[in-house]
Amino acid sequence: MGSLRALASLLVLHLLQGSHASLVQLKDNGYEDVIIAIDPGVPEDGEIIEQLKAMVTAASTYLFEATEKRFFFKSVSILIPEAWAQNPQYRRPKHESYKHADVIVAPPTLPGLDEPYTRQFTECRAKAEHIHFTPDFVLGKKLNEYGPSGRLLVHEWAHLRWGVFDEYNEDEPFYSAKSKKIEATRCSAGISGTNSIHTCQGGSCVTRRCRIDPTTKLYEKGCQFFPNKDQKEKTSIMFMQSIDSVVEFCNEKSHNQEAPSLQNLKCHYRSTWEVIRESEDYKNTTVMEETPPAPTFSLLRISDRIVCLVLDKSGSMGGSDRLNRMNQAAKHFLLQTVENGSWVGMVQFDSVADITSELIKIRSNSERDMLVTRLPTQATGGTSICSGIKKAFEVIEKAGFQLNGSEIVLLTDGEDSTAKACIGEVTESGVIIHLIALGPSADQAVIQMSNETGGNHHFATDNAESNGLIDAFAALTSENAGLSQKSIQLESKGLKLTSDPWMNGTVVIDSTVGKDTFLLITWTVQPPSISLWDPSGVLTAGFTEDTASRMAYLSIPGNAQVGTWTYSLQAKANPETLTITVTSRAANSSVPPITVSAKMNKDTNSFPSPMIVYAEVLQGYVPVLGANVTAVIESNSGNTEVLDLLDNGAGADAFKDDGVYSRYFTNYSANGRYSLKVRAHAGTNSARRRLGHPRSRAAYIPGWVVDGEIEGNPPRPETDENAETVVESFSRTASGGAFVVSGFTSSATDVFPPSQITDLDAVPEGEEITLTWTAPGEDFDVGTVQQYIIRISGSMLDLRDRFEDALQVNTTGLSPKEANSKESFTFKPGSIPEENATHIFIAIQSVDQSNLTSEVSNIAQVALFIPQADPSPDESQPNPSPPENYSSGVNISTLVLSVVGSIVVVSIIVSTTICILKKKTSSSRPRTEF
């Protein structure tokens, strides 16, 4: 247990392969090692670099003032594509890579949508993935629509670094406020402006006040909030930082808790400044007395990939078939994964190290085949990891290359007490260490090297059936290559065969891949019989059999036929373990392939805290919805758990239909390391691409009010938020790295509560209210809860902070369903104790069989008045008249159900004490009265 704790203490927070992993450090109030990466698909334009410098410099000053003199940008690296011409100012990257980019400059998600946004799919206070700016935005071509780029960078940085959310909501741009008026969703509410319809055609513009939609009782579709150009309000940066007077984040005093903003929904109605103050950044800084210096910039140009394999051949590698399995995986890496144009060398080590191959540039299969012959053949001797790494330094420098940015793929299965002696030399060298640990022992010092040099670390068990070692090598594609160059894993599967000798299956090759398709079969005892049929039913021959390494492989020339390939493997021994791995590359460099990446929310965890699995399925930058995504989590002892991941916006999943599939993992079996692999596939017409605007996007400024007149901006390209296109059948697998668990005990009783309900919604049912939500589980999002507690209050803060004191709804007859089912409950609201209440607030808490309770849900709002529109000068087209039974008092009113995510209306008769008098029966669903 002591060594495990030491291992956990050495592991720094480091997101895993297939996900963003920022290298940013906060030192003396300044953010260092910020990386801005220009995508390989961006045409060369030196002005982009100059504008990036100007943007960050302006942002640093704005950030410093906005955070009360706490933070600024100190050092920034700009990664420049290899296709751009060399320049004396450009240097070779050290640890910096596209994987670590905090900001990317890349083509828009869809043509014409130059919207800046932050890829943010986790909970409040969690760091996001990256910021996405388009070249046109950086070049200042969208200044009118989005405001100064430096200010916008600070807005997006708050998403990225502190996990706050926007204080506007384009899905719910208006709401009914306590003032009994219709207000624009914003923070603070002190931002002044006008709500108008503004249309232009042929150089002529027409402006009119917005009318009330008779269904929602809010403003009609197309109504927009136009802020006054001249403002005095200082908040908030997370609403519209482009307003000249806005220089602060909303705090407790200025925060608008009424507005249906994502900040309110995701951060439980706390202001952005409250969330920022809770961050580690804030806790580790003090107010600066002096003005900070301007940021410094490093211009780093991507160049040839240089990678040296450092392979352990010590005596312990002779057991559990480790040496052979290492060679199988290394051969797959050499024959398929490593990209053409890369330089590859090889070192083997036991108690000493030997160079088995100097650096060779991969130009064709002949170089790959030669490297394969240099792999170790015998396991013997001790373990000297530092010797192997230093020998790799020799290989790289002897070829005339710098260590900066060069990669070492280190595979080892044991501990080495001397490894810590070279930590300093390795981290100072600029080389990147990718660690593949085989078996239960991995030296702590090497894990530290991998983390501190920005490398990946993967762990593989001795369970050949999991195919973990091949997956680990297959994940080591270049972090700086264009997507079209990278090897993409379509299938990775293993099976231990006993009574049934057959391993049958299919692999889908979709039209976005097919180039350099490579199939690898491995076995443990005897070569199986192999049959492979292409989509047209033709039997495919030509496998190369390598009996010494117990593997057979086939490379399909050109682009493989699109469709479903069928394989049938028959074992010739009993028992036998067979595996199949299929990889390919993009068929067309101009069509982005479908990809899947995976990660856990953290890489060290103490029981009983849950882990969260994330898998992102994209085509380019466009989310892919409707895929079947599963996670396979394997413990160090070989126990596996399979989780179906969901994109339903409930439980661990922050946003519905964003292409990120999530789930809690709580089913621990032991302390130690766990590895993650994700599978994603889709059948015919089952998946689709979402073509709407990206989430967490910058607020588009429709125009300004100047001297009472609207000065409109060019209209934003129209995109239907619900627009989708069907995606063809596909299959993908991806390694998500590993995480370490400590403190687990098998004797622990029920320790996991239900997950928080985050999608509480409501619809009108005559004079009753029907609530709907996604069912949580007995253990977060697994199983079935025991009961629901529903409470209402006239005060949002009371319901949030003193939930147990609020009035409880009778839920007799409400029987909880299994986790991730849709729940529905109808009830009739009665009197609430708060006088002068303008809203009823509703929330839910779940209770499991051990009386463990969930966090309180998001809060549904019920407004007890008819919201008033702005006075309209347009008498020829007035707003609809109030209902006939409307009076200025509260005897007869309209109940406006306003929930973050929806606004609905239901007419209900209420008394001056806000008590429902009329009665309606409903037998179609559970219902109750107080």
CA distance 195 to 189: 14
The token pair at 570 is 């028959």
Placement of tokens 């995504």 in the chain: 629
Q: Which helix (H) or strand (E) holds 423?
A: helix 423-429
**Count of C-beta atoms within a 10 Å radius of residue 771:** 24
Question: Nearest 5°: CA angle at 766, between 762 and 769?
Answer: 30
DSSP 613-677: EEEEEEETTEEEES-EEEEEEEETTS-EEEEEEB-BSSTT--SBTSSEEEEEE----SSEEEEEE
Contact 217, 867 (CB under 8 A): yes
Q: Which helix (H) or strand (E) holds 370?
A: helix 365-372
Give every CB contact of residue 450 below 8 A, 6+ residues apart in sequence. 410, 433, 434, 435, 456, 457
CA distance 522 to 581: 9
CA distance 756 to 854: 5
**Count of C-beta atoms within a 10 Å radius of residue 327:** 21
The token pair at 278 is 């809770």
Contact 698, 144 (CB under 8 A): no
CA distance 125 to 103: 19
Would you say the C-alpha torsion 80, 85, 89, 94 has a positive or negative sign?
positive
SS3 content of the chain, % helix, strand, coil (to 5): 15, 35, 45
Q: What are φ and ψ of residue 460, in 5° steps? A: -130, 135
Angle at which helices 46-66 and 149-162 cross, to 10°: 70
Which among 96, 115, 129, 156 is annotated as catalytic?
Answer: 156
Q: Which helix (H) or strand (E) holds 53?
A: helix 46-66
Q: Please count the CA atoms within 13 angstroms of the CA of 8 that sit on its side-chain side.
A: 19
Whether 156 is catalytic is yes
Q: What are φ and ψ of residue 472, in 5° steps? A: -65, -45
CA distance 385 to 108: 45
DSSP 133-171: E-HHHHTTTTHHHH--HHHHHHHHHHHHHH----S--SS
CA distance 50 to 293: 18
The residues carrying an active-site annotation are 156
